[in-house]
Structure 1
Amino acid sequence: MTAVLAPAPRLDELLALSAALHRHLCPRQVLGARMGLLAGRALDMAVPRTDKKLMVLAETDGCFADGLSVATGCWLGRRTLRLLDHGKVAATFVEVRSGQAVRIAPRTDLRARVRAGRADGQKRWDAYMDAYQTWSDEALFTVTPVRLTLDLAAVISVNGKRAICGGCGEEIINEREVRRDGAVLCRDCVGEGYWQPR
């Protein structure tokens, strides 16, 4: 028996979901949703996913990430979306089993082309919304096959692994502990913390 695939979601349906989560719709949500759909085609994977066969490495957070999530089914809470904050509206999409990956980013001249082509009196925001929803993928994005330079297995880790930090005593999950001179420590206790007590 041949499996029947559900039809791919329509962009307007995904944008409605993203807008409901974010309480409004904005251009970056549209870019995220469009990228997620394009990644599915580039990797020959149905999206959004309900399994963990797709990993998304987002290069910024905010509205863009919401668009990525609704289109791909990858979420922080499912451990299939990771933020590598480079301050770029771009993402790398990885087929987890094969390691095949593509990085998708807006074309470097996209914003300038949208502004140059807007109708007289049209606000920039409206021009971005219109263009990002109607222009072709080729006009919007670059798709680059890439090889990851990070260890995907280490990023994914093993769910349920736990350790206790020998410094502060806090629990560390998902194999994020650091082993130094025979001691098990958390990243804060080895000096990689982002906070300190007052």
Structure 2
Amino acid sequence: MESFEQLLTESTRIHGHICAGQVIGVRMAMAGLDRIGITDPKKTERKKLYVLVEIDRCATDAIQSVTGCSLGKRSLRWLDFGVMAATFVNLDSGRAVRIVAREEARTLAESYCPEVEDKYQRQLQAYTVMPLDELFLFQEVEVKIPECALPGRPLRRVQCDQCGDWVQDCREREKDGRTLCRACDGERYYRVLDRTEPQPGTPG
């Protein structure tokens, strides 16, 4: 695997800027891969690796950059827990480790780089040198990944009986004998505009 400096440079390029979250994500991914026995995640061992992330912040971009896992490849899964944590799974061996960023690392940063006045820059620099056990909590875990969530072709595609959308990967719902997409089952995040409503920039 590439060095920390090389991985951080590439992650920063993809993310668009350097920040403490990038440092955390790169170090978290490197430590996770090491603990589950994967050394070549983007090439020879790419089909062995599965990652679950618990937050949609900067660190997630870094984890994706280091591991090569992504939503599109179905090797990265986002769980909306709001925790700065990720779980790395070796699909071949079953070994898995959940890594959580320690909150107390924010305060510890002061003892590593006291000369840096800006707290965000202080954290960024401190996180690059802080021992892993001070930066993270490591948990050996067991993860059961549903077959429908694994990489590969969709196991099935079904049509929603209400709106007609096609639903893949077992995400449909059964209700009162009908097959529904999640939007029609009450999880809709959008409102379909009436075709007769004036559109922005057009006369009413």
Q: TM-score, normalised by structure 2?
A: 0.83
Rg comparison, structure with higher value: 2
**5+ unaligned residues in a row in structure 1: which ranges?**
1-7
Q: Find the aligned partners of 1:131 and 1:41 in 2 and give their Cα distance.
A: 22
Q: TM-score, normalised by structure 1?
A: 0.86
Relative distance call for 1:98 and 1:153 in structure 2 (3 A) is: farther
Q: Find the aligned partners of 1:179 and 1:119 in 2 and give their Cα distance.
A: 58
1:71 aligns with 2:80: no
1:36 aligns with 2:24: no
> Which amino acid letter does the alignment assign opposite residue 118 of structure 2?
K
Q: Find the aligned partners of 2:106 and 2:120 in 1 and give their Cα distance.
A: 11
1:96 aligns with 2:87: no
Percent identical among aligned pairs is 34
Contact 1:48 1:70 in 2 (8 A): no
Q: Root-mean-square deviation (CA), in Å?
A: 2.0
Which one of the candidate residues 138, 149, 156 is aligned to 1:155?
149
2:114 paired residue number: 119
Relative distance call for 1:157 and 1:172 in structure 2 (3 A) is: farther
Q: Find the aligned partners of 1:16 and 1:22 in 2 and give their Cα distance.
A: 10
Q: Find the aligned partners of 2:116 and 2:5 in 1 and give their Cα distance.
A: 26
Relative distance call for 1:12 and 1:123 in structure 2 (3 A) is: same
Q: Which moved more, 1:26-35 or 1:156-165?
A: 156-165
1:25 aligns with 2:18: yes
Structure 1 runs of 4+ with >4 Å offset:
none
SS at match of 2:162: coil
- What pairs up with 1:53-68 in 2 under 5 angstroms? 53-68=48-63
